Amino acid sequence: MALAECDDVRRRREQALTACCLAVAAETDTGLEPARRATMLMDCLGVLRAAHPAGRAAQLGMREFRRGLRGGLAPLLPPGEADDRFGGLRLLDGDGLVRDALEDLCREHLVPQAALDRHWPWARVRAEQEERRLFEVMRRLEPEEYRKARALLAECPAGPLRVLRKRWDRLWMRFDFFEAVSDWPWCQLEGWWYPCPKCRWPMRVVAVGREVEVRCEAHRPRGVHYRMSQEQRGRGMAPILIGTGKASDPVVGLPASSDHLALNRPVWRYGVLPTLLEIELRDQLKGRAHVRVEMWPGELQPDEYDLKITVAVPGRSVRRWRVDAKDWASAAALAQALLERESKPYTLYIVVPDHQAHEVAYLKQRLAGRRTKVLTLTRIVDQVKQAAGGRDE
Ligand SMILES: [Zn+2]
């Protein structure tokens, strides 16, 4: 297939995926009035139809559309050879609940559409643009400030305004990425919100049958999930959460008031999560003989690396890993973003969380022939340890 044709197929399929993601968001939003939901779904269907060749579009009615949203997406997508794996995607989980990362998935493949913008103001901004905006701000910082900002992303992504202001200090005015938790209904439980014990960002509150589950969207696979206790509690007290996962450390509710803020979702996803991954990598290699880890050297382009690992064993040649951590919802979108980068004069190691191990083979295949390697956190730690001789100091 010619390149232009290929791009057209990709764009059409991304347009269809955008429409499906937003339709699912509307379908599952219990706070929506039925009339408004119906308008949103009609607009989504209109966008979906526009993504199809004329003959096929006519066959897509509202019933087929809604049915399609509940199954694999393949029947709803415009045909064409595309290495995007959208056909197998499911937007709803086994309980019929919307997938946690739906908004990220949509943002990563977003094709902005005027018809949809009026319902979802955020549906104007692609994930990559937001990631870039964050790194534009970061890049203008002095190296010392840059390191401070990276550390704060990991340590202080949400909380009471006065605490955030104090911690972010001189960086506060330059980081206009905070939003009020009171504007986010998805993380509120009877007027309270709960920071994840791993990333400190608000956890999602979901009704599953008759129970209420509270979980971190990013760290749920690592065992960060809770259920709300039915126990009586005192007046003005936050509901008590009972840990149900292996990493469910005790958490306390905070008031979801307008003076409690959190970094916006894209900054959490593309700034906080990779930073945590880098810190984890550094910590796992701490104290290893012959291993040196340099973090956040600053003065970098947004698509440079953020971590340099050097293994220098006497009598052997020096080995280096230039690492960039990534935590995207869609492996297909990540592959595309990496392919659009200019190639570097060195091999870049893209590190993804362990729970994305099943995506590594796909990413490798998409990036074949590039000086980019993809591996999980555990895998790179093993590689470095092995190169260093496998001994702790
Ligand atoms: Zn978390």
Cα of 205 from ligand 1 centre, angstroms: 13
Question: Could you tell me if 89 and 70 are in contact, meaning their C-beta atoms sit under 8 angstroms apart?
Answer: no
Give the amino acid at 84. Answer: D
Q: Is the pLDDT reported for residue 303 higher than 70?
A: no
Q: At what angle do helices 377-388 and 273-285 cross, to 10 degrees?
A: 30
- What does 46-71 look like in DSSP terms, one character per residue? HHHHHTS-HHHHTT--HHHHHHHHHS
What pLDDT does 182 receive?
A: 95
Cα of 118 from ligand 1 centre, angstroms: 30
Return the closest-CA partner of residue 25 out of 262, 190, 212, 186.
Answer: 186
Cα of 273 from ligand 1 centre, angstroms: 8
As a whole number of angstroms, the distance between CA 108 and CA 106 comes to 5
The predicted-structure confidence for 228-242, as pLDDT tens digits, reads as follows: 998 888 888 999 999
Confidence of residue 282 (pLDDT cuts 50, 70, 90): very high
Cα of 369 from ligand 1 centre, angstroms: 34
Eight-class DSSP state of 183: G
Cα of 100 from ligand 1 centre, angstroms: 12
What pLDDT does 187 receive?
A: 94
Q: Is the pLDDT reported for residue 68 higher than 60?
A: yes
Q: Is the pLDDT reported for residue 247 higher than 90?
A: yes
What pLDDT does 393 receive?
A: 45
> How many other CB atoms are found less than 10 A from the CB of residue 246?
9
Cα of 272 from ligand 1 centre, angstroms: 10
Cα of 203 from ligand 1 centre, angstroms: 7
Average pLDDT over residues 319-327: 93
Give the amino acid at 36. Answer: R
Q: What percent of the chain has pLDDT over 90?
A: 55
Q: What percent of the chain has pLDDT over 70?
A: 95
As a whole number of angstroms, the distance between CA 379 and CA 352 comes to 10
User: Worst-scoring range by mean pLDDT, 135-144, 160-169, 285-294, 349-358?
Assistant: 135-144
The predicted-structure confidence for 8-23, as pLDDT tens digits, reads as follows: 888 899 999 999 999 9
Question: Could you tell me if 332 and 199 are in contact, meaning their C-beta atoms sit under 8 angstroms apart?
Answer: no
Cα of 263 from ligand 1 centre, angstroms: 13
Average pLDDT over residues 347-354: 94
> What CA dihedral angle connects 310, 312, 316 and 318, to 10 degrees?
30
Cα of 220 from ligand 1 centre, angstroms: 7
> How many other CB atoms are found less than 10 A from the CB of residue 83?
12
Cα of 101 from ligand 1 centre, angstroms: 13
Average pLDDT over residues 159-186: 93
Of residues 233 and 38, the one with the higher pLDDT is 38
Average pLDDT over residues 112-138: 79
Question: What are the structural domain ranges in the chain?
Answer: 3-125, 128-264, 266-388
User: Worst-scoring range by mean pLDDT, 164-168, 186-190, 301-305?
Assistant: 301-305
Average pLDDT over residues 261-280: 94
Of residues 219 and 103, the one with the higher pLDDT is 219
Q: 317 vs 230, 310, 387, CA distance in Å?
A: 61, 11, 10
Q: Is the pLDDT reported for residue 322 higher than 90?
A: yes
Cα of 377 from ligand 1 centre, angstroms: 17
Return the closest-CA partner of residue 10 out of 342, 335, 371, 357.
Answer: 335
Cα of 252 from ligand 1 centre, angstroms: 15
